[in-house]
Structure 1
Amino acid sequence: MKRRTLLLSGLGASAALLVGWGYLPPRSRLGHAGSLGQVEGEIGLNGWIKIAANGDVLLAMHRSEMGQGVHTALAQLVAEELSLPLARLRLIPAGFESIYGNIAMFVGSLPLHPRQTEPGHTSLGARLGQWTVAKLARELGINATGGSSSVADAWEPLRWAAATARQQLLGAASLRWKLPLPELLLEDGLISHVSGPSAHFGELAKEAAATPPGEVRLKPKARWTQIGKPLARLDLAAKVDGSAVFGIDVRPGKDLLFAAVRHCPMLGGGLGPVPVNALLQQPGVLRVVQLGTVAGSHAAVAVLARNSWHAQRAAASLESAWQQRPAGALNTAQIESRLADSARVAAAQGHVFFSQGEADAALAQAPRKVEALYQAPYLAHATMEPMNCTACVKDGRVEVWVGTQVPGLARAVAARVAGVAEAAVTLHQTYLGGGFGRRLEADHVGQAVRVAMDTGGVPVQLLWSREEDMTHDFYRPAGAAFLQAGLDAAGKPLALRLGSAGDAISPRWMERVLPALAGPVEPPDKSASEGLFDQPYAIPQQRIAHLATHSGVPVGFWRSVGHSHNAFFIESFVDELAHAAGADPLAYRLALLDGLPRHAAVLRRAAQEAGWGQVLPKDRARGLALHESFGSIVAQVIELSSQQGKPRVHRVVCAIDCGVVLNPGIVAQQMESAVIFGLTAALYGRIDIKDGVVQQRNFPDYPLLTLAQTPLIETHLMASDLPPTGVGEPGTPPVAPALANAWFALTGERLRRLPLATTV
């Protein structure tokens, strides 16, 4: 305590201010009605809720809809508190105020172990860390849809905003009718009293805006009528009838121009002489714009034309003396070999994310030892809608139409490229034709704005071809892990020593999108070791470390991030330990889940629903995996056979504990989506780079799981009273290990390298 006092006294007034700020509660996220803008016939009640003249409720939607159902889930929170049919709630774009920032995503980036955060066992250090990061994130106010955090982040703010609006409306009715507020009834957007008076929200909105809310309480679970129900998605009709607007659908005017981009084929390379005159001779070509690097993009050429076909044809024909990157050509074969070597030394030389006891000594003294090297390749996002952005630069202002996971940061990139203030940029958010983390980037936004600066105020839509999208992605990092375990005579693990290696994503992303926060000193990136340092099993002696590499390959966030391959490493290895012990994989795991009853319950549920232990035909086998990510616990059992020597998956049984379930239909959809996504990656996914050039260019050489190959997927939801946790990503990590473990059960062949279909 004395040392701390001396340090603070040395810092003087700044330290006092910092300490004082630390003791203050986080600022309210209720906001104010002015945040939503003035529109005739609409009355704002706070920074989230407006009331239309006809009584409909308008909700400021601050998260991006990319197929995960978040618009419906968040709307259900508001509809519940206002006792309003979901059909009476309309979504309007949220602004850029800090109340819309994603706090839960940043809190989720803390490297906390589940034994520090399980309900009833949360450590003081964990609570302090979460409190501090939450306060910082509230001040930063970065609006991002990612980290499976949208519902977790909105769980309290949206319900409080709606409940506050409800009390204002009820208070206005009470004052108007001079009737006791507790006697008023609220149902289907109508406030009434048994004596006769009634009014819908629109008739009370103006008075409600001037009425203090009084005591505000959230609706108790016993009175919920919408949370927990599989209500139809709000975006369903528009996506069925074709009226939904994605970025690629934007048409801001008849004079719209189209641009296609061609990057240097070698990652990190540059442009040689560009044959501008030859390109201008191509049909329909109007202009050629050379693009420098912006927000992480590579050197490129944009070809401008009156239609997309002419622009794409001309860009594809471009021949240039492309320049190799100064540091030399990238090759995945060399990178993967170095990663394997780095993983073997990482436990001793890497950053230690978790240490317990004396793992080295326990390992040396263990009667039996098991060790294995696991590897995973680079992966592309391969979103159905390639990167695109429409922009117009005119009279000192910028207008952008784009599907993005980070509207505020995309707006900042547009402003930076155009040389204007952020307030001079208007960003129109569209639906996203897939995100998976790729649209956390803003490289294509910067490119579109740069091209639009040369069109004399005419809007331009920049569209990447599938080939450009595949070969110039920000890839899921390749990774390797070397795992060593010491077992006692009965096969129970005494020690676990694990070293992993791979590029850190967060520092590279910050350099591209948040340069003001990036620095020369890189803190350890939790996403590199997540799923390894925080694995749930009660192994007495542990040392989990990661060696951050910098391969030069552009890397970015990919669905479930580090969990996507780390789950394969750890859950496959635990299966190896069970086999070495001669134990049933289910029973072996359950014996190691002491003190984590929720994990054990999820694992038991998946096994029970899958018929674990029941006899299968001799040509089939089951494998299982358990993994926690983004606050949710998922167990999966995969049943497969061998077809022409390759895995053929027939059934996937999934159990998930994600806290309170807002919409069971959407959760099931996300589990199905995650399983298909995970199977695609586990069986086929890989990006190979030779002489700096990505070899996979389109879906024929980067295949996706087909409908005919898609197995039966069953989802089982665990009942919970805990706040909601992630849903969009947690279903992906357990797929690869459950698949590999099933293959071992069937064939006796242990696959330690992804993708599995090319390994066997």
Structure 2
Amino acid sequence: MKRRTLLLSGLGGATALLVGWGAMPPRSRVGSASAWALVGGHVALNGWIKIDADSHVILAMNRSEMGQGVHTALAQLVAEELNVPLQQVRLEQAGYQSFYGNVAAIVSSLPLGPRSTEPGQETRPARLSRWLVAKVARELGINLTGGSSSVSDAWEPLRWAAATARQQLLVAASLRWKLPLAELKLEAGVVSHASGPHATLGELAREAAATPPGEVRLKPAAQWQLLGRPAARSDLQAKVNGTARFGIDVRQPGQLFAALRHSPILGGSPGVIPVNALLQMPGVLRVVQLGTLAGSDAAVAVVAQNSWQALRAVQSLDMAWQQRPAGALDTAVIAADLAAKARQAAQSGFVFQSQGDAALALATAPRKVEALYEAPYLAHATMEPMNCTAQVKDGHVTLWVGTQVPGLARAAAARVAGVPEDAVTLHQTYLGGGFGRRLDVDHVAQAVRVAMDTGGVPVQLLWSREEDMTHDFYRPAGAAFLQAGLDAQGQAVAWLAGSAGDAIQPRWMERVLPALAGPIDTPDKTASEGLFDHPYAIPHQRIAHQATRSGVPIGNWRSVGHSHNAFFTESFVDELAHAAGADPLAYRLGLLVGLPRHAAVLKRAAEAAGWGTPLPQGVARGLALHESFGSINAQVMEVSSQDGRPRVLRVVSVLDCGQVVNPGIVAQQLESAVIFGLSAALFGRIDIQGGVVQQRSFPDYPLLTMAQTPRIETHLLPSELPPTGVGEPGVPPVAPALANAWFALTGERLRRLPLSAGK
């Protein structure tokens, strides 16, 4: 009894500590000036901001630039609060302190729907869970660029950091000139007083660093000069003139080059490697056998004097490859299994959303509608294939790489090389596309392993396009069996959804966070997002998911589960409207009771597209509405038929993403999302036969061409809410809007992606 009492006492103490910790406010993310490595007379004011002698404001950039414009948008936040021209803000790679971590991305992993999180309607459990997860995320400090979270995560910390620095500079000037603080102003990067005294930021920086800021306030929106207005991208000139440095561009003195060839069979392994034959080829210096590193398949790497020699050598490999022990993977078999499991999932799967009695309401409904929807595996197909340059020398690892997770890349390098993480230096480059693929670190681990055999000489590992396509971490295939009951007036009274597919996050964690990944899979919100969190007011609902483990390597793909679940949901809602004999727009609006923002986005899209107005013969419209990453996007498509296939003529896209930092960049992201989404909706699929991926390059995995690209019109709704996601919310509505337009045109309901007529 005494032992049990002591145990309970200990647990009680731990619980008290946990409760006490949870009640405390989150630690400040302004950060300490000690986070900076100061050089050349630079003066740090906090963890985000330092000033150089020429009065440039240097921002610690903790997010990766992969074409989404984040380097410009985050610099705008700082320039606005400091009242300096945007051109005066320079960027420097952030360190690895926890306050640089991405809190917003981790909070968004909570399985919450719009009716519990909508501003003004947020439930107490939703508020509490967000608060606690934000505190945990702040302590974890995982730095990642993904989840359309960069601006939303930076919105408060960066503005507070800049506002604090502004106040320090003003107080320092007040003390120096012995003038009232309220009479000083900071404009165009100069602190001044009406009586004449003035000083640049560089002249005041050292005094400011030693000066407490006093009361700090953010600028009110009415005084904004930069936020909400277009600004030229900071990376534009370098990307136009060719000076921008991507991972593939890295060149170090004496650098060697490596190419690799994975087992063509997913999960397979190489047989006897013809090392001697490879070493006889021109320029070849080393042959390295690579095991399964950070989730990769086994491979053979060849190191040579230049990349062409390395590539030619691995292409010449003539050897037997061993099948995976569990047998060959086949997507046709996987698809059939997913369809069967989806039909069972509503009763046997993990329930993400339940209200009322959906089974009874369905059984007693006057009319029932049901449909099976399917989606294939998809590759990321980034323009820049996977690559990393690594040097292992004197117990230290140096990396040059474009990654979405610099901290996790360092950790992977340290594990492979057997050194502490602080013995790894990572130089971040531009990313030639990410889309979630560079949230993985397999290519980093491989490069470090190869570099361990090059005697301290840096080596660049570059995957060929074929290796990139056939050894991706694919968007999971999925299936959903949807059932609905309609009352006598055609209104939906019951909604049952069962889906099946592999769970991304447990597999990703196993690869990149092995210390945190447990042996038991937990429900993965991304598997059901877009299904369980739809916005429609249906009184009886049950939405469940059956997690599978197909053996196919899977990973995060732009808009993750929303990418296919929105197709399932929005296509099915269109089917309900048709069954009810109702207009698809009016039917949706009738189901959006209590969600005025969603209704406003949908109405604006319909108005801008001319919904209900006559169209030329052979053209029809379709629409879709979807919320993801905190943003609401509606799209209306105009579609015709060309050789029996959909031909998209026009897309109207309306977004509510809270306050807009840079409308030009947001429009670019919406346009790119439409093109990205159409590529997948029309053409995208990965087929596996005998364990071998059949698509090897762009002829097999086509992207939308300029000639096929429709006219894209974007509209941003004004908002006073904090910013939400931009990079991904434009992808999910694409496929259903297209499928719904095709049905309106032809009467053919396409329920399987990609959308090819007759399938």
Whether TM exceeds 0.5 here: the answer is yes
- 1:699-734 CA distance string (max 9 Å, x none): 000000000000000000000000000000000000
Match in the other structure for 1:346: 345
Supply the AA of the counterpart residue of 2:155: W
Hey, what does 1:428 align to over in structure 2? 427
Pair 1:381 & 2:380 matched: yes
**Is 1:118–2:90 an aligned residue pair?**
no
CA positional deviation for 1:280: 1.0
Deviation by residue 1:214-264 (Cα, 9 ceiling, x = unmatched): 0000000000000001000000000000000000000021x1100001000
Mapped partners of 2:311, 2:490: distance in 1 = 61
TM-superposed CA distance for 1:316, in Å, is: 1.1
Distance (Å, rounded) in 1 between the aligned partners of 2:384 and 2:301: 19
Q: How has the CA–CA distance of structure 1 residues 439 and 198 changed in structure 2, closer, same or farther, with 3 Å as cutoff? A: same
Quick one: distance in 1 between partners of 2:510 and 2:616? Answer: 54
For residue 218 of structure 2, what is the amino acid of its counterpart?
Answer: L
> For residue 256 of structure 1, what is the amino acid of its counterpart?
Q
List aligned pairs for 1:410-429, cutoff 5 A: 410-429=409-428
Give the corresponding residue for 1:33: 33
Structure 2 CA distance for partners of 1:199 and 1:555, relative to 1, 3 Å: same
The residue correspondences of 1:605-684 to structure 2 (distance < 5 A) are: 605-684=604-683
The one-letter amino acid of 1:460's match is V
Number of the residue aligned with 2:186: 186
- In structure 1, distance between residues paired with 2:372 and 2:661: 40
Looking at structure 2, the residues matched to 101 and 111 of structure 1 have their Cα atoms a distance apart, in angstroms, of 21
**Contact 2:644–2:757 (CA<8 Å) still a contact in 1?**
no
In 1: Cα distance, 2:738 partner to 2:757 partner: 14
Q: Following TM superposition, by how much is the alpha carbon of 1:270 offset from its aligned partner in structure 2, in angstroms?
A: 1.1
Provide the C-alpha distance between the structure 2 equivalents of 1:701 and 1:523, rounded to a whole number of angstroms. 35
Aligned residue number for residue 700 of structure 1: 699
Residue 55 (structure 2) aligns with:
55
C-alpha distance in structure 2 between counterparts of 1:107 and 1:30, whole Å: 19
**Using the alignment, how far apart are the partners of 1:30 and 1:403 within structure 2?**
26
Q: Deviations over 1:356-378 (max 9, x none)?
A: 00000000000000000000000
Match of 1:313 in 2: 312
Match of 1:526 in 2: 525
Check whether the contact 1:415–1:421 (CA below 8 A) recurs between aligned residues.
yes
- Distance between the aligned counterparts of 1:100 and 1:268, measured in 2? 36
Alignment of 1:84-123 (within 5 A): 84-123=84-123
2-structure distance, mates of 1:387, 1:419: 23
Measure how far apart 1:40 and its partner are: 2.3
**Paired AA for residue 19 in structure 1:** V
Find the residue that maps to 2:389 and give its secondary structure: strand
TM-aligned CA deviation for residue 403 of structure 1:
0.1
Q: Secondary structure at the match of 1:133?
A: helix
Aligned match of 1:200: 200
- What is the aligned partner in structure 2 of residue 501 from structure 1? 500
- Asked if the contact 1:684–1:758 (Cα under 8 Å) also holds between the matched residues in 2, the reply is no
Q: Normalising by structure 2, report the TM-score.
A: 0.99
Matches within 5 A, 1:384-403: 384-403=383-402
Moved more, 236-245 or 277-286: 277-286
Structure-1 separation of matches of 2:559 and 2:270: 34
Do 1:413 and 1:513's aligned partners in 2 also have CA atoms closer than 8 Å? yes
Displacement of 1:8 in angstroms is: 7.3
Distance 2:7 2:580 in 1: 53
2:574 and 2:434 mapped to 1: Cα distance?
32
State the one-letter code of the partner of 2:45. Answer: L
Residue type at the aligned position of 1:128 = L
Q: Name the stretch that deviates more: 128-137 or 13-22.
A: 13-22
CA 1:108 to 1:6, structure 2 compared with 1: closer, same or farther past 3 Å?
farther
Q: CA deviation at 1:9?
A: 5.3
Q: Which residue of 2 aligns with 1:43?
A: 43
- Matching residue of 1:141: 141
Q: Is contact 2:637–2:651 with CA below 8 Å preserved after alignment?
A: yes
In structure 2, the residue corresponding to 1:756 is in which secondary structure?
A: coil
Match of 1:459 in 2: 458
Q: Which residue number in structure 2 is paired with residue 251 of structure 1?
A: 251
**2:11: which partner in 1?**
11
The amino acid that maps onto 1:700 is P
SS of corresponding position for 2:664: helix
**1:57 is aligned with what amino acid?**
V
Q: Is the counterpart of residue 235 in structure 1 residue 235 in structure 2?
A: yes
Q: Note the alpha carbon deviations across 1:535-579, whole angstroms, 9 max, x for none.
A: 000000000000000000000000000000000000000000000
> Hey, what does 1:709 align to over in structure 2?
708
Instruction: Give the secondary-structure state (helix, strand or coil) at the position aligned to 1:384.
Output: coil
Match of 1:443 in 2: 442
Q: How does 1:156-167 map to 2 (within 5 A)?
A: 156-167=156-167
Q: Report the secondary structure of 1:12's partner residue.
A: helix
Aligned to 2:210: 210
The answer to whether the 8 Å contact 1:53/1:203 transfers is yes
- Contact in 1 for aligned 2:750/2:757 (Cα 8 Å): no
Q: 2: distance between equivalents of 1:8 and 1:190?
A: 61
In structure 2, distance between residues paired with 1:345 and 1:129 = 31
Could you say what secondary structure the match of 2:557 adopts?
coil
8 Å Cα contact 2:62/2:94 also seen in 1: yes
Cα pair 1:8 1:16 within 8 Å, conserved: no
Contact 2:113 2:532 in 1 (8 A): yes
Question: 2:717 corresponds to which residue?
Answer: 718
Q: Distance in 1 between matches of 2:125 and 2:29?
A: 25
8 Å CA contact 1:500, 1:546 repeated in 2: yes
Code of the aligned partner of 1:628: E
Please, what is the CA RMSD of the aligned residues? 1.1
* Superposed displacement of residue 23, structure 1: 1.2
Asked if the contact 1:753–1:759 (Cα under 8 Å) also holds between the matched residues in 2, the reply is no
1:606–1:653 contact (8 Å) kept in structure 2: yes
Kept in 2, the 8 Å contact 1:340–1:481? The answer is yes
8 A Cα contact 1:683 1:758, kept in partner = no
Query: Could you list the runs of 4 or more consecutive aligned residues of structure 1 that deviate by over 2 angstroms after TM superposition?
Result: 5-10, 757-760
CA contact (8 A) 1:102 1:143 kept: yes
1:172 aligns with 2:172: yes
TM-score, normalised to structure 1, is: 0.99
Following the alignment from structure 2 to structure 1, what is the Cα–Cα distance between the partners of residues 598 and 552?
36
Shift of 1:523: 1.3
Cα distance in 2 for residues equivalent to 1:45 and 1:316: 53
Instruction: Specify the code of the residue in structure 2 equivalent to 1:226.
Output: L
Deviations 1:167-219 (A, max 9, x none): 00000000000000110121110010110000010000000000000000000
Give the letter for the 2:28 counterpart.
S
Distance 1:758 1:153 in 2: 42
The CA deviation at 1:6 is 13
User: Contact 1:538–1:593 (CA<8 Å) still a contact in 2?
Assistant: yes
Aligned identity (percent) is 77
Partner SS state of residue 684, structure 2: coil
Distance 1:294 1:644 in 2: 46
**Distance change in 2, residues 1:192/1:212 (3 Å):** same
2:601 maps to what in 1?
Answer: 602
Report how far residue 455 of structure 1 moved. Answer: 0.5
In the alignment, residue 497 of structure 1 is paired with which amino acid?
L
Q: Indicate the larger mover: 353-362 or 11-20.
A: 11-20
Conserved in 2, the CA contact under 8 Å of 1:536 and 1:593?
Answer: yes
Q: What's the CA shift for 1:12?
A: 2.8
Assess if the C-alpha contact under 8 Å between 1:8 and 1:15 holds in 2: no
Cα offset, 1:759, TM superposition: 4.8
Q: CA deviation at 1:13?
A: 2.0
In the alignment, residue 135 of structure 1 is paired with which amino acid? K
Distance 1:6 1:645, change over 3 A: farther
What does 1:436-585 align with in structure 2 at a 5 Å threshold? 436-585=435-584
- Cα distance in 2 for residues equivalent to 1:527 and 1:107: 13
Look up the SS of the partner of 1:185 in the other structure: strand
CA contact (8 A) 1:291 1:300 kept: yes
